[in-house]
């Protein structure tokens, strides 16, 4: 396992991302904040008993300001934190977002006045909020923005074409220039890297990440995975099936989402603890159902299980829809889920896959057109995807 995936092991200084600005005159608080920055894998800049370096206040991804504490014995003086001169300096600085005031005494009403004086976004009390603060520091160090649109794809029965659709969605999103990650969550499948023709591409696979715990760095995860068709793919190797613990799935999926863009997850039909963790981080699910009565019956059982965790689950009805076959609206009605759309057959797709062409690579084919239309609807406003 790559060393940077564990949150409790040393990291080389050159690999530590930029961290917050710490402004305090309290040595004990400074020690605690330095410890929390180390836990987040961030290298802070410290302004101790003096003004911050020119430009630091404006450019730091996050500012942690120590609140002045009441003097021992109930006196009216203030100790530690930022002194009166320092507070005047911070009040005179330009207002900015990402300023946190760090205190220790929940019963100190003056902390809130200090927060107003410096325009703090939040008041944080230690040690209660340590975990929350570590996550905020790590987010700031990674440059985290909006989380990725995360799409789960599952087959209503075996051979429904869920893996093909998952790959096509990822290829289509990547073709539009969006950061895209494809996650293979089915250890018993054939491997999405094989479907994309990337089984020999270098990079980490699931067995390398099975021991991941704590917070996984999103940038390091993306850089470590195989790249193909302008996207990152997390799949399986050709060895024996490896059990992925739920905490590893939670950590890896969290890192994938924090990186932004689009994350597509190919889901198995069975539900275990790891799959439940993946489902908890998915925004919208697509249930691929061939236009056959037995497939509809099987898909109903899959939907009943997955729907207990994933609230937004929609049907993709896969053609052909000729005489004697169920229509797309009838399929969705029988399963009791909203219809995401119909997926007509794509002539020549099996031959193209045999030749190493990725699903959705033909931007004018029915598969890519379906993916473009779905992504244009599902992405945030202004996130159109050209076919």
For residues 155 and 283, membership in a common domain is answered with yes
Q: Do 100 and 192 lie in a common domain?
A: no
Residues 153, 138 share a domain: no
Q: How many domains does the chain have?
A: 2
> pTM of the prediction?
0.74
Residues 284, 206 share a domain: yes
Residue-by-residue pLDDT tens, the chain, 387 positions:
343 333 333 333 334 456 899 999 999 999 999 999 998 888 999 998 777 888 888 889 999 999 986 655 554 445 556 655 566 667 667 788 899 999 998 888 889 989 998 889 999 999 999 989 998 898 888 876 788 999 999 999 999 999 999 999 999 999 999 999 999 999 888 899 999 999 999 999 999 999 888 788 888 899 999 999 999 999 998 888 788 999 999 999 999 998 899 999 999 999 999 999 999 999 999 999 999 999 999 999 999 999 999 999 999 999 887 666 689 999 999 999 999 999 988 888 888 888 888 999 999 999 999 999 999 999 976 455 554
**In a domain? residue 367:** yes
Q: Which CATH number fits the domain that encloses residue 239?
A: 3.40.50.300
Residue 387 belongs to a domain: no
pLDDT value at position 329? 94
How far is Cα 32 from Cα 36, in angstroms, rounded to an integer?
6
| Amino acid 89: pLDDT | 65
What the block records as the tokens of 36 is: 């929390």
Give yes or no: residues 138 and 182 share one domain.
Answer: no
Q: Which of 115, 142, 169 is the last residue of a domain?
A: 142
State the CATH number of the domain containing residue 98. 3.40.50.2300
pLDDT at res. 65: 94
What are the angstrom distances between the C-alpha of 13 and each of 10, 18, 38, 44? 9, 11, 11, 12
Co-location of 92 and 107 in the same domain: yes
Cα–Cα distance between 384 and 387 in angstroms, integer? 10
Q: Which of 142, 164, 199 is the last residue of a domain?
A: 142
Q: Are residues 93 and 167 in the same domain?
A: no
Domain that holds residue 80: 12-142
What is the pLDDT, as a whole number, of residue 88? Answer: 61
Based on the domain organization, do 20 and 130 belong to the same domain?
Answer: yes
- Is there a single domain that holds both residue 87 and residue 161? no
Q: Is residue 233 part of a domain?
A: yes
Q: Of 123, 142, 161, which closes a domain?
A: 142
Same domain, 123 and 235: no
360 is a domain residue: yes
Q: Does residue 82 lie in a domain region?
A: yes
Closest among 367, 354, 285 to 318, alpha carbons compared: 367
CB-based contacts of 169, cutoff 8 Å, min separation 6: 151, 153, 262, 264, 360, 371, 374, 375
In a domain, 347, yes or no: yes
Domain annotation covers residue 3: no
For 22, other C-beta atoms within 10 Å of its C-beta total 24
Same domain, 203 and 237: yes
Is 314 within 8 Å of 285 (Cβ atoms)? yes
Query: Tell me, what's the pLDDT at 248?
Result: 94
Q: Tell me, yes or no, whether 324 and 367 share the same domain.
A: yes
């Amino acid at each position: 396992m790559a060393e940077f995936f564990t949150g409790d092991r040393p990291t080389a200084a050159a690999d530590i991302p930029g961290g917050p600005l710490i402004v305090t005159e309290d040595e004990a608080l400074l020690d605690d904040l330095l410890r929390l920055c180390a836990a987040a894998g961030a290298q802070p800049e410290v302004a101790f008993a003096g003004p911050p370096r020119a430009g630091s206040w404006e450019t730091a991804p996050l500012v942690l300001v120590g609140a002045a504490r009441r003097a021992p014995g109930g006196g009216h003086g203030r100790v530690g934190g930022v002194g009166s001169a320092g507070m005047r300096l911070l009040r005179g600085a330009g207002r900015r977002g990402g300023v946190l005031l760090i205190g220790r005494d929940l019963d100190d009403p003056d902390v809130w006045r200090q927060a107003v004086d410096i325009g703090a976004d939040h008041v944080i009390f230690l040690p209660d909020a340590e975990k929350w603060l570590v996550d905020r520091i790590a987010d700031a160090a990674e440059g985290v923005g909006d989380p990725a649109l995360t799409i789960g794809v599952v087959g209503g029965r075996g051979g429904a074409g869920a893996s093909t659709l998952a790959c096509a969605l990822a290829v289509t999103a990547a073709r539009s220039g969006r950061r895209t990650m494809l996650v293979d969550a089915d250890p018993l499948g054939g491997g999405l890297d094989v479907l994309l023709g990337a089984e020999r591409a270098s990079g980490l696979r699931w067995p390398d990440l099975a021991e991941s715990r704590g917070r996984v760095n999103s940038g390091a995860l993306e850089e470590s995975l195989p790249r193909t068709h302008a996207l990152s793919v997390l799949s399986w190797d050709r060895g024996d099936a490896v059990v992925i613990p739920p905490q590893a799935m939670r950590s890896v999926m969290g890192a994938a989402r924090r990186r932004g863009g689009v994350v597509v997850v190919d889901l198995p039909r069975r539900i275990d603890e790891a799959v439940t963790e993946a489902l908890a981080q998915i925004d919208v699910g697509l249930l691929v159902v061939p236009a056959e009565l037995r497939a509809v019956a099987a898909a109903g059982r899959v939907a009943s299980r997955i729907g207990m965790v994933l609230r937004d689950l929609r049907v993709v009805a896969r053609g052909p829809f000729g005489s004697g076959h169920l229509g797309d609206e009838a399929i969705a009605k029988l399963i009791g889920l909203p219809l995401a759309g119909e997926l007509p057959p794509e002539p020549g797709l099996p031959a193209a896959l045999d030749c190493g062409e990725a699903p959705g690579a033909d931007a004018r084919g029915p598969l890519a057109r379906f993916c473009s239309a779905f992504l244009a609807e599902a992405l945030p406003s202004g996130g159109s995807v050209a076919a």
